[in-house]
């Protein structure tokens, strides 16, 4: 992996960069559509390319459950398995495992849990986490972390931070591919001093990139943005910075201003499946009866497949009659909107006008 910064905004911490990975180059800031089980729900790789996506996220935990990492490896690896030839990042699945509160047992060497699929007893520790991601063969692997819930007291936040650090070091020792980048994860909940401690000690271990984890897990918007704003500038300047699971437009733009480079979130596809489109003027709910005869595209000026070919009235009709094309078209539009947002952010940074761009987005899309 190589990463180079190509431009900086003089009035914020925003920067553009070029992330060069085994499967391709990604211009940053960039948004990664989420394909946890090896598929961005309802969309084909050519459609994702047409939306502007250049890097996808998959989840090692979900793929280990079904069809199994060994099965994916036997079929040529994750890229061949899902038909995507661009870069892929695999999340370790730590968040998902720790969300199984009633069905897991934490030990020093990892977590035992009951599979939510078949009920069998399974184990995920640093070595197995790295083995799964080695078999999947993504361009970027994530360490196994302990993501605490919210609300979270200081004792739990400290324990999760220490466990994450121990497991991070073990993951680095267990990595098995020279052509796979490995990112560390910063924890610490909403406690600034714990975040600072986590950053310092994670950097000491040494990774190819650094992620801010444990954000947007139930805390308020003010708390979430403060944590990102306080944490991102402490991460190494010459490494990519990744904000995990945060992705509404206002949150993304605010974090870009803090110096974050990579994002993922289920929001654009989940909201699309539920009938909501992101537009430059805020959210548009296609189930609204006022759109039944609206001949305009979902967003004027958008060049995505949905907006090129179909009216608001038609997309609204699809949702009201339960046709699967409706969720597909809005997922396409929303991912294209996010790609355009990233492109506009990069252009604004290059023009040294990011503040103007950020203010415009935050004014029109406050949530």
HSE, side-chain direction, 13 A CA sphere, residue 338? 35
pLDDT tens-digit series, residues 242-271: 999 998 999 999 999 999 999 999 999 999
pLDDT tens-digit series, residues 124-144: 999 999 999 999 999 999 999
Structural contact between residues 98 and 111, judged by C-beta atoms closer than 8 angstroms: yes
Residue among 9, 85, 91, 178 flagged as catalytic: 91
For position 149, what pLDDT does the model report?
87
Say whether 189 sits in a helix, a strand or coil: coil
264 noted as active-site residue: yes
Q: H or E stretch including 17?
A: strand 15-21
Within 8 A by CB and 6+ apart from 309, the residues are none
197 noted as active-site residue: no
Structural contact between residues 74 and 67, judged by C-beta atoms closer than 8 angstroms: no
Give the chain's domains with CATH numbers. 2-265 (3.20.20.105), 267-367 (no CATH)
Sign of the alpha-carbon dihedral angle for 27, 332, 219, 283: positive
For position 71, what pLDDT does the model report?
98
- How crowded is residue 288: how many other Cβ atoms within 10 Å of its Cβ? 13
d(CA 154, CA 194): 9
Residue among 251, 258, 261, 264 flagged as catalytic: 264
Residue segments in the chain with a per-residue pLDDT below the cut of 50 = none
Within 8 A by CB and 6+ apart from 55, the residues are 19, 21, 24, 26, 30, 32, 86, 87, 88, 89, 139, 262
pTM greater than the 0.95 cutoff: yes
């Amino acid at each position: 992996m190589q990463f180079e910064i190509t431009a900086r905004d003089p009035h914020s911490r925003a920067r553009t960069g070029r992330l060069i990975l085994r499967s391709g180059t990604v211009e940053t800031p960039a948004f990664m559509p989420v394909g946890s089980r090896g598929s961005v729900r309802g969309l084909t790789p050519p459609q994702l390319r047409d939306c502007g996506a250049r890097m996808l996220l998959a989840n090692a935990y979900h793929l280990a459950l079904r069809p199994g990492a060994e099965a994916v490896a036997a079929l040529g690896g994750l890229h061949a398995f899902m038909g995507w030839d661009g870069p892929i990042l695999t999340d370790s699945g730590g968040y998902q495992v720790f969300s199984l509160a009633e069905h897991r047992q934490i030990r020093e060497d990892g977590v035992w849990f009951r599979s939510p699929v078949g009920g069998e007893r399974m184990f995920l520790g640093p070595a197995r986490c790295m083995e799964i991601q080695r078999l999947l063969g993504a361009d970027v692997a994530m360490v196994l972390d302990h993501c605490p819930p919210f609300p979270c007291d200081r004792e739990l936040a400290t324990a999760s931070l220490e466990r994450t650090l121990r497991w991070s070091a073990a993951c680095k020792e267990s990595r098995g591919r020279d052509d796979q980048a490995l990112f560390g994860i910063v924890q610490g909940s909403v406690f600034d001093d714990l975040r600072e401690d986590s950053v310092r000690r994670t950097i000491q271990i040494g990774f190819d990139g650094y992620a801010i984890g444990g954000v947007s897990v139930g805390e308020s918007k003010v708390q979430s943005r403060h944590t990102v704003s306080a944490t991102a500038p402490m991460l190494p300047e010459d490494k990519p910075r990744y904000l995990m699971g945060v992705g509404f437009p206002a949150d993304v733009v605010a974090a870009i201003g803090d110096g974050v480079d990579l994002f993922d979130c289920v929001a654009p596809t989940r909201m699309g499946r539920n009938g909501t489109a992101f537009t430059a003027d805020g959210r548009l709910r296609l189930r609204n009866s006022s759109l039944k005869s609206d001949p305009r595209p979902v967003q004027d000026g958008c060049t995505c497949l949905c907006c090129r070919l179909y009216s608001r009235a038609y997309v609204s009709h699809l949702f009201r009659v339960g046709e699967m094309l409706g969720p597909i078209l809005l997922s396409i539009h929303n991912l294209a909107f996010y790609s355009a947002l990233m492109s506009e952010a990069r252009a604004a940074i290059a023009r040294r006008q990011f503040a103007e761009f950020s203010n415009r987005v935050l004014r029109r899309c406050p949530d």
